[in-house]
Amino acid sequence: MIAEERVERLHALAREAAADGETDHAREYVRLARRVAERNRLSLPRTFVRFACDDCDRYRRPGVDARVRLADGHVVIACDCGRIDRYPY
């Protein structure tokens, strides 16, 4: 399997595990996806970057373990671990 496909597959697994409440499994997939991307010098998909927390590696679920709000042309994502990310939209 080529690296891009592995990253996509791991992203899908992280998303599914998170949706099932399997936070620890989701975290493992997030870490693996990052590792594969890094090793192959790939950039991670935009949705991955937005949902995976850089501090705690959680695949965040808005309303469950992250709060999402819109402010000044930005999406603000506050993770349960305390990290706050802002992305322009």
User: With respect to Zn ion, which residue has the nearer C-beta, 36 or 79?
Assistant: 79
Non-local (6+) Cβ contacts of 36 within 8 A are 3, 6, 7, 10, 42
Q: Cα separation of 19 and 79, whole Å?
A: 16
Q: How far is the CB of 58 from Zn ion (least distance, A)?
A: 5
Report the chain's C-alpha Rg in angstroms.
13
User: With respect to Zn ion, which residue has the nearer C-beta, 5 or 54?
Assistant: 54
Q: What are residue 62's phi and psi, to 5 degrees?
A: -55, 135
Q: Which of residues 36-55 bind Zn ion (CB under 5 A)?
A: 53, 55
Q: How far is the CB of 61 from Zn ion (least distance, A)?
A: 12
Q: How far is the CB of 28 from Zn ion (least distance, A)?
A: 15
Other C-beta atoms within 10 Å of 75: how many?
Answer: 15
Is residue 83 part of the contact set for Zn ion (CB under 5 A)?
yes
Q: How far is the CB of 15 from Zn ion (least distance, A)?
A: 16
Q: Which residues bind Zn ion (CB under 5 A)?
A: 53, 55-56, 58, 79, 81, 83
